[in-house]
Amino acid sequence: MSYLPQRPRKNSEARAAALAWAETITQTELDQLSDIGIPNENPNTLEAQVNTGVFEQSIGALLTEARKSRGLGKRELARQLGTNHARVTQLENAQNLELQSILGVLDKLEFDLSIQFVSRRDGKAIGAMIPMRKTVQQ
């Protein structure tokens, strides 16, 4: 039993060939390569970076679910929002997420927003409900 995140991979034959090549190269040869241009990441921020990604992808998945629950295609939603299909795809893929865009989609799909902070100490939650549009009393 194991868990390996699955993603589509291009050039599977070239990847297998690269592994065979990695058997032939030595660390001494690698150490002769230039290291100019290699970025310097701070591992202390790695978990925060991961949490940001999890947050963004969760928002994207929820937007997809909300759209599908209304029986709308991406093109139809884009038309209602006055944007294009590519922007809806971007939002659902968690790219260039902007709060204003997210709230705009929720409003158009007739969803309100509920936010909850859950304490890791005792499991207690505090939260807020944000209605997207003021309810009109009939």
Strand partners for 130: 113
54 to 93: interface string for another protein, x by CB under 8 A: x--xx----------------------------------x
Cβ proximity to another protein, 17 vs 130, nearer residue: 17
Helix (H, G, I), strand (E, B) or coil at 7: coil
CA distances in angstroms from 138 to 112, 124, 130, 132, listed in the order given: 19, 37, 21, 18
Cβ proximity to another protein, 56 vs 76, nearer residue: 56
Residue 118 lies near another protein (rule: CB under 8 A): no
Residue 48 lies near another protein (rule: CB under 8 A): yes
Residue 46 lies near another protein (rule: CB under 8 A): yes
- Which of 4, 125, 129, 136 lies at the binding interface for another protein (CB under 8 A)? 4
118: its two tokens: 């859950």
Parallel, antiparallel or unpaired: strands 113-118 and 125-130: antiparallel
- Measured CA to CA, the distance from residue 85 to residue 49 in angstroms comes to 28
Shortest distance, position 121 Cβ to another protein, whole Å: 16
